[in-house]
Amino acid sequence: AQKVTQAQTEISVVEKEDVTLDCVYETRDTTYYLFWYKQPPSGELVFLIRRNSFDEQNEISGRYSWNFQKSTSSFNFTITASQVVDSAVYFCALSDIGSGNTGKLIFGQGTTLQVKP
Amino acid sequence: DSGVTQTPKHLITATGQRVTLRCSPRSGDLSVYWYQQSLDQGLQFLIQYYNGEERAKGNILERFSAQQFPDLHSELNLSSLELGDSALYFCASSVSFESEAFFGQGTRLTVV
């Protein structure tokens, strides 16, 4: 069965600190996609990144970076020099492309990040 | 703005009632997904439509149903509502099964 685990329920940091959000996934598929979404206090879900299972290159976008390691089934998300506006719930998700090919997402439970000024 | 529009944003209704949530996907997206977000269950996939046809079903209750119309907008119908159905219901759309899904702002349903 496919599963996404975000073991950190809540993280609190002070502005300008770096913070890493962990994501561990389980799947039997060889072809899959991993995602991160952000849910700010206003409630909408904002897409951040998509990574396919064949591309293990790390990615950096501004203050955001992602580390994908197939060997440990992890897809961690780091925010560098955090800001108050980064306060949100962050979700990691897995898409089962290999079997069924639907694109439906399996979400982790989310990590609530609080950045204090 | 994701380009996915959901209406209404808020809905308060009584137990036993029936409601309809509406979703307009991004222009060009053929795939529509419905998700439920509740405190105890987290974000759960309900159902997916692709170009008017049901494509996948998740843990959707029999009291819930959905459809996608020829203009690709979708509706989620919730009937015989119970207190436990109170949740945030999201619609998402994507251009293909491999691409990222963009989410609407959600409909917050409160059953009293």
Q: Is residue B56 within 8 Å of B48, Cβ to Cβ?
A: yes
Q: What is the arithmetic mean of pLDDT over B33-62?
A: 94
Closest chain A residue to B57, measured at CA: A104
Q: What is the pLDDT of residue A102?
A: 80
Could you tell me if A83 lies within 8 Å of chain B, comparing CB atoms? no
| End-to-end Cα separation, chain A, in angstroms | 41
Q: What is the pLDDT of residue A58?
A: 86
Taking only the tens place, the pLDDT of each residue in A61-79 is 999 999 999 999 999 999 9
Q: A with B: how many residue pairs have Cβ under 8 Å apart? A: 65
Q: Which of B44, B98, B99, B108 to mutate to test the interface with A (most CBs of A within 10 A)?
A: B98
Q: Is residue A22 within 8 Å of A8, Cβ to Cβ?
A: yes
A43 and B42 in contact by Cβ < 8 A?
no
- CA separation for the pair B31, A88 (Å, rounded): 27
Q: What is the pLDDT of residue A96?
A: 73
Percent of chain A scoring above 90 in pLDDT: 79
Could you tell me if A48 lies within 8 Å of chain B, comparing CB atoms? no
Q: Which of B82, B107, B92 is nearest to B33 (CA)?
A: B92
Select the more confidently predicted residue: A5 or B99: A5
Q: Return phi, psi of residue B72, to 5°.
A: 80, -5
Could you tell me if A117 lies within 8 Å of chain B, comparing CB atoms? no
Q: What is the pLDDT of residue A98?
A: 58
Chain-centre distance for alpha carbon A115: 17
Q: What is the pLDDT of residue A57?
A: 85
Q: What is the pLDDT of residue B98?
A: 82
Could you tell me if A50 lies within 8 Å of chain B, comparing CB atoms? yes
Which tokens in the block code for residue B42? 């987290």
Percent of chain B scoring above 90 in pLDDT: 91
Q: What is the pLDDT of residue B5?
A: 97
- Measured in angstroms, the CA of B18 and the nearest CA of chain A are apart by 24
Could you tell me if A41 lies within 8 Å of chain B, comparing CB atoms? no
B105 and A91 in contact by Cβ < 8 A?
no
Closest chain A residue to B47, measured at CA: A104
Taking only the tens place, the pLDDT of each residue in A74-96 is 999 999 999 999 999 999 999 97
Residue A1 reports pLDDT greater than 90: no
Long-range interactions of B39-45: CB distance < 8 A, separation 24+: B42/A107, B42/A108, B42/A109, B42/A110, B43/A91, B43/A105, B43/A107, B43/A110, B43/B90, B44/A107, B45/A104, B45/A105, B45/A106
3-state secondary structure of A26: strand
Q: What is the arithmetic mean of pLDDT over B52-68?
A: 94
- CA separation for the pair B91, B33 (Å, rounded): 6
Q: How confident is the model at residue A103 (pLDDT cuts 50, 70, 90)?
A: confident
- CA separation for the pair A56, A58 (Å, rounded): 6
Q: Is residue A91 within 8 Å of A37, Cβ to Cβ?
A: yes
Residue among A45, A104, A110 whose CB faces B103 most closely: A45
A107 and B42 in contact by Cβ < 8 A?
yes
Q: How confident is the model at residue A99 (pLDDT cuts 50, 70, 90)?
A: low
